[in-house]
Structure 1
Amino acid sequence: MTENQIANKIIGCALEVHKALGPGLLESAYQECLFYKLMKEGLAVAKQKPMPLIFEEVQLEIGYRIDILVENKVVIEIKSVEALNDVHLAQTLTYMKLGGFKLGLLINFNVSLLKQGIKRVINGEL
Structure 2
Amino acid sequence: MVKSTDDINKLSRIILDAAMYVHSSLGPGLLESAYEHCLYFELHSRGIACERQLELPIMYRGHRIDAGYRSDLLVGDTIIVELKTTERILPVHEAQLLSYLKLSNKRLGLLINFNAIHLKDGIKRMVNEL
| TM-score, normalised by the number of residues in structure 2 | 0.94
Task: Name the counterpart of 1:59.
Answer: 64
Identity of aligned residues (%): 43
Unaligned runs of 5+ in 2: none
1:100 aligns to 2:86 (yes or no):
no
Runs of 4+ in structure 1 displaced over 3 angstroms? none
RMSD (CA atoms): 1.0
Is residue 2:21 matched to residue 1:11? Answer: no
Structure 1 distance, partners of 2:129, 2:84, is 24
d(CA) in 2 for partners of 1:123, 1:62: 21
Equivalent positions of 1:86-97 (< 5 A) are 86-97=91-102
Aligned equivalent of 1:38: 43
Using the size of structure 1 for normalisation, the TM-score is 0.97
Corresponding residue pairs, total: 125
Query: Could you tell me how far 1:56 is from its partner in structure 2?
Result: 1.5
Unaligned runs of 5+ in 1: none
Task: Please list the CA deviations of residues 71-96 of structure 1 after superposition, one character each: whole Å capped at 9, or x if unmatched.
Answer: 11000000000011010001100110
One-letter amino acid matched to 2:43: L
Provide the C-alpha distance between the structure 2 equivalents of 1:41 and 1:34, rounded to a whole number of angstroms.
11
